Amino acid sequence: MSAQTAAVPFWRAAGMTYIGYSNICASLVRGCLKEPFKSEAASREAVHFSVAKWADGNQEKPRSSERSCDWDWPSP
C-alpha cells in the first residue's frame, strides 16, 4: 500500500496535530462530567511551566507561568 492510498487519521486530515486533537477531546470530556468529578478535573487542568530567553549564549532569569488547558491552539 502506497503512502498516497494509506488511511490517514481524521485529525491529521483536518490539519490538526494529535496533541491538539487530544486536548480538544479532554476539554469536552471535562465539560461533560458531573460534580464532584468536574471540579476535581478542573483542578488538574492547570499547566505550570517556565520560559527563559537566551541571549548571546546566556540564559536570562526564567519566568514562571500558569495557564489553563482551554487555550486556542495555533494551527499547524
- Chain-centroid distance, C-alpha 21: 8
What does the block give as the cell for 8?
490517514
pLDDT tens sequence across 4-31: 556 788 888 888 888 888 888 888 888 8
pLDDT tens sequence across 26-67: 888 888 999 998 888 887 777 777 788 888 888 887 776 665
20: phi then psi, degrees, rounded to nearest 5: -60, -45
Indicate the pTM of the whole model.
0.50
Taking CA 17 as the corner, what is the angle to CA 40 and CA 54, rounded to the nearest 5 degrees? 85
